[in-house]
Amino acid sequence: THLQDATPVTLGQEFSAYAAQAKNGLRRIRETLPDLLALAQGGTAVGTGVNTAKGFDVAFAEKIAQQTALPFVTAPNKFEALATHDAITFSHGAINAFATGLYKIACDIRLMGCGPRAGLAELRLPENEPGSSIMPGKVNPTQVEAITMLCARIFGNQQTISFSSSQGHLELNVMKPVIAFAMLESIDLLASGVDSFITRCVNGIEADEANIKRFLERSLMLVTALAPKIGYDAASKIARAAHKNGTSLKQEALASGKVTEAEFDAIVRPEKMLAPNE
């Protein structure tokens, strides 16, 4: 946390957060779809329906629904449907939220895979192509970088849609073309980008178990398990002493006289720090 050492989590727990984030993001997008199914057709110029036959709007929506197999309906208020595009703005907001989560996930994966010797190197990312043109053997996380650039484009489309949606002066928003363009581009980018990211990156990720074990064994934050027994301040002093002296937590804990070796071994067990105390 805060890019500083914290208590341990498993890779499974870490990736469960990513899976839940993606699942919730998709749910939020789906929840915006009903509002997109209300059609303005039949409102004609300003929403009054002038120059149309009565019932045209309903018949049009029914025909579109039949041809697309989607539950399109006529908008209950044509004035609102012509002058505003709030439904698209709201829906793209959910797409944008998904992209922000995807950006975070990609950056986490890149951070955990940085190295191989001067970084965390907890993950081994797929080597899809040669990397640096000047540094032999260097392989770059190109799929992660691609997905972050894709997300940046979606962030930009969100701003375009938000501004354009605000330009519904009086009875008509004339910026629908750029709204539609940005919306469709974001949908296409997200769909194709996520598919590529999963296929060419996520499915090929491997854990560097030896490196993870090394980090775990050297972690000073395992001292958190001692806090309930010896108190926060005493545990903090042990961690700071171990860091300053280049010693282990166990050495400093025993030197402090706060716990015995048997007590330390029974309490400081990473596998018991992965869930609430029983």
> Quick check: 278 pLDDT over 80?
no
pLDDT in tens, 148-181: 999 999 999 999 999 999 998 999 999 999 999 9
Q: Which residues contact 134 (CB under 8 A, 6 or more apart)?
A: none
pLDDT in tens, 57-93: 999 999 999 999 999 999 999 999 999 999 999 999 9
Which residues are marked as active site?
Answer: 2, 132
Choose among 209, 198, 206, 193: nearest CA to 125: 206
Q: Which domains does the chain have, with CATH numbers?
A: 11-29+84-209 (1.20.200.10), 219-272 (1.10.40.30)
Q: How far are the Cα atoms of 29, 35, 161, 163, 170 from residue 167, in angstroms, in the given order?
A: 24, 20, 10, 7, 9
pLDDT in tens, 236-273: 999 999 999 999 999 999 999 999 999 999 999 999 99
**% the chain with pLDDT above 70:** 100
pLDDT in tens, 183-197: 999 999 999 999 999
Assign 128 to helix, strand or coil.
coil
Residue 133 confidence class, pLDDT cut points 50, 70, 90: confident
Residue 130 confidence class, pLDDT cut points 50, 70, 90: confident
pTM reported for the whole predicted model = 0.92
